[in-house]
Amino acid sequence: MIHRKTRWALAEWKESEEGAAKQLCERLSLPPLVARLLVQRGYRDEESARRFLQADAADLHDPYLLSGMEAAVHRIRKAAERGEKIRIYGDYDADGVSSTSLLVHVFRKLGLQFDYYIPHRALEGYGLNNNAIDLAASEGVQLIVTVDTGISAYEQVEYAKTLGIDIVVTDHHEPPEKLPDACAVVNPKQEHCAYPFKGLAGVGVAFKLATALLEQPPLELTDIVCLGTIADLMPLTDENRILVRCGLEKLRKDAGCGFRALAEAAGIELPSIVSTGVAFGMAPRINAAGRLDHARRAVELLTTDDYDDAMLAAIHLDTLNKERQRIVDTIVKEAEEQWLSKRLAAEEAGEDPPAVIVLGGEDWNVGVIGIVASKLLERHYKPVIIFGIDKETGMCKGSARSIDGFDLHAALTECEELLDHYGGHQAAAGMSLHRDNLPMLERRMSELAMNWLKEEDWIPKTLVDIACGLEDATLETISQLALLEPFGVANPSPRLLFQHVQLADKRAIGKEAKHLKLALGSGRKLLDGIGFGMGEMAAVMPQGCRIDVIGELSINEWNNQRKAQLQLHDLHYEPAPLTAFPTREQFGQVYQMLRRLGEAPERGLAARLSEHIGLTVDAVQLMLDVFEELKFIGLSNGMYITAAAPEKRELASSERYRSAKEKHDRLHALA
């Protein structure tokens, strides 16, 4: 038996939606599976579905619908007329780097007198700070334009005024109750802002400012917008979908020298890049600059026109990313050791381990603790808070990640008397406090988790889009699923459920047989499945059995052949109850067949023997499992080998035999 690793949550599908899906099939010439997915994601009529599938730059919203845009453009143009020095003030993450880089390109094009500034993560922290404003004043800056930051900088904006510096704020984070009294504040999330799309990244807001300044959308810069939007986990709907799609097309066909150098350093094939290549290939290297060095290294890469300079910068970022990975691995190992010690201590005391994982280390780099928290959450599926502790002051900077159902921000609010600062949302948060308060924070957060979460909340959940059949897994349908791209937040790659499909073949593949290769179906209609890290499951499932699988469809190209493939996320196999339990004579008959064979490939053996003896594949597989347990046969390198002189043992001495017999007898008695 193979149990599900997660709770499978199949999205509700109403019979009333069949009509809408059928209409989309007919009017847009779509396969049924694609049409059903569109309806399920809210695109029920032809107009909304067509807009989702075909929207382009002409469908971008007017930038002047953003509150504050007119004032922002007026102040920047005024600075241009007066020859004032402007400073772009960004953030050190990939969105901030992208926002800064985009405005560098735009201000160059406009011929403005400007430079840029990004605070150092470890030395200055997030956002505008007075020391940076002092530096700007000393260097003759008269206007600061913030990107991806500034919405909470009320006091800093007031301080800048005393030094004669005006500030234009462009941001996308949640606004506080008291907004900065700046020359202009551009943020679609302001309550009074009627902009029709609230999900722009910081770089998206910067792009709207650029559009207004240039009086047309700078589509040649959408590769930068694509990077920041994907890296900042913004919803890939509405305008973001258009901008990311345009950006991916730019990367495939006409990438700038910075992106070409980054792709070469990262081993990314630009002509075929998709959103995951940006998310897992490019974004980590851009982020590595701000985590371990200074984010201006990444801005230099994205703004240079010299390929040699770009290549040097890309190699530097790649090296930083490798170092970041090494540091993360080290901290994860140390954190796991700490967590094991806590669990053992709780066990010795006869208590449950903490419901929230709270760990810290004096030499843990605060630039990567969020990644560490994510890795521990994935392994243990508990809310996690990881702290870097200052040895001298005892102050701790923490980064938290949560599971569904546990609101980190609400929990931290309940513990705010223990904290110096905190902020975030349901799934992720940051905080600072003194190390003396760590034990109490762990205790309070764990109590809240136990009170707020139900038993099922502690089991990870897999959201499944649709249950479908193998007949849906055609090359044509999979090709048309690409119409739903780019995939990402709010528009994930479809997860499909195939129920009770026949297992035609299975084997463990790869180094140390770590991965699982399946053939699903019967006859000539087979679907390949690949499960990374699932290799041990090959020995559990008999060929010919029925299984349930969840995965994503893709096209595998090999030796000029294209085949449908299902990348497995999870599977479930439970042996069917035996309607007729094998008799001792049948056990003996199969054993004699095995002795005559001497050795035989595991793959397909149960199915072949079942044809000879007239029992089901599951019944014959039970016999093989019992014989293996009793050491009548052995399994080595995919071959069953019959023992030359096995020790004589009763069938009933096999736990597998007894368990199956008891289950059969119990079901038979109930019938």
Per-domain residue ranges for the chain? 7-52+463-572, 63-219, 354-459, 584-670
Q: Report d(CA 51, CA 11) in Å as an integer.
A: 23
Residues lower than pLDDT 50 in the chain:
none
Within 10 angstroms of residue 532's Cβ, the number of other Cβ atoms is: 12
Helices 584-597 and 617-629: crossing angle in degrees, nearest 10, is 70
For the 584-670 domain, the top CATH level (class) is: mainly alpha
Query: What b/e sequence results for 426-439 when a residue is b if at least 16 CB atoms lie within 10 Å of its CB, and e otherwise?
Result: ebbbbbbbebebbe
User: CATH for 354-459?
Assistant: 3.10.310.30
pLDDT at 671: 59
Largest CA distance in the chain: 100
Per-residue pLDDT tens digits for 94-121: 999 999 999 999 999 999 999 999 999 8
Q: Look-up: residue for tokens 């504050």?
A: 68
Q: Report d(CA 279, CA 234) in Å as an integer.
A: 11
**C-alpha count within 13 angstroms, C-beta hemisphere, residue 57:** 13
How far is C-alpha 269 from the chain's CA centre? 21
Q: Which of 267, 270, 373 is nearest to 322 (CA)?
A: 267
Per-residue pLDDT tens digits for 600-636: 887 678 878 887 887 888 888 889 989 999 999 998 8
Q: Report d(CA 166, CA 71) in Å as an integer.
A: 12
Residues with Cβ < 8 Å from 185, sequence gap 6 or more? 67, 68, 150, 151, 169, 171, 179
Residues with Cβ < 8 Å from 596, sequence gap 6 or more? none
- Global pTM reads 0.84
Residues with Cβ < 8 Å from 70, sequence gap 6 or more? 64
Residues with Cβ < 8 Å from 609, sequence gap 6 or more? 590, 593, 620
pLDDT at 76: 98
Beta-bridge partners for 506: 518
Strands (E), 172-301: 184-186
Same fold, 63-219 and 584-670: no
In the numeric block, which tokens belong to residue 28?
């847009």
Residues with Cβ < 8 Å from 129, sequence gap 6 or more? 119, 156
Fold annotation for 63-219: inorganic pyrophosphatase (n-terminal core) (3.90.1640)
Within 10 angstroms of residue 7's Cβ, the number of other Cβ atoms is: 14
pLDDT at 607: 77
Q: Are 170 and 209 in contact (CB under 8 A)?
A: yes
Within 10 angstroms of residue 162's Cβ, the number of other Cβ atoms is: 9
Three-state secondary structure string covering 326-377 = HHHHHHHHHHHHHHHHHHHHHHHCCCCCCCCEEEEECCCCCCCHHHHHHHHH
271 SS3 class: helix
pLDDT at 614: 79
Fold annotation for 7-52+463-572: OB fold (Dihydrolipoamide Acetyltransferase, E2P) (2.40.50)
Q: Report d(CA 430, CA 359) in Å as an integer.
A: 14
